[in-house]
Structure 1
């Protein structure tokens, strides 16, 4: 999965630090995704306003994604995915239960398929792509109780 840079047409290397471009991201539908996941109050505010980037480490077999929060340095959430293998971890929404995820290579980039355990079960499908040099795009489709919301978040390399 390794490559030199996240440049247009390079589907495999997302290594580095990425700052969210809120003006280019679909923040309204992101709020709807959080509603589907039943995030409220401080958790929803943290997700919407304070998570402002990603730090990604990647090799041929795995991808590690850490959500970055500048204003709350003690908050750290890191997820590590393995290519073609299901990995179980604590849920990113901090609710009870686990999430189970599989990383796959797809023609346009990589895809992470996440299943959320009950009692708040659901699915999140994230596709990481580089539409142009220095730009990371994460398309996510969140499905809960038969409802679905698709959203695109845009990040710039820093």
Structure 2
């Protein structure tokens, strides 16, 4: 029995990072001024990491940890926009293209609204879309849990993929 390939797929990605003392949070490739930064093996850009997972997952090509293991020295401090672009190249090679992305950042701070346009522009350029096809929203956790206490940030991303044929 031959399985038909679905012409549209949806991928969901999630990422979270702890805050440590620093000079700004990188989200979607944009440095947002803050007294903290996210800590992680790469540049700890939770927006790019979640979107990368959504795009890879939608294409059935694994996840960011498989493609960029934190056990490899070359991934230390790596630019997450570059990682997103390399993942997108893998997805294109498999016959898919990203048609749309929707991202929600959950954090008490920094506030996303003042930086939304810059993040949308940066992500759109990275994945060859119009900023109109990339949505970024900020939500708080209403002071609940580790996010509510200001200990870190979480991001959820959804990506719609279509056949590139």
Greater relative CO (CA pairs within 8 A, separation 6+): 2
Greater share of residues in strand: 1
Q: Smaller-chain TM-score range?
A: 0.3 to 0.5
TM-score norm. by structure 2 comes to 0.33
Structure of higher CA gyration radius: 2
Greater share of residues in helix: 2
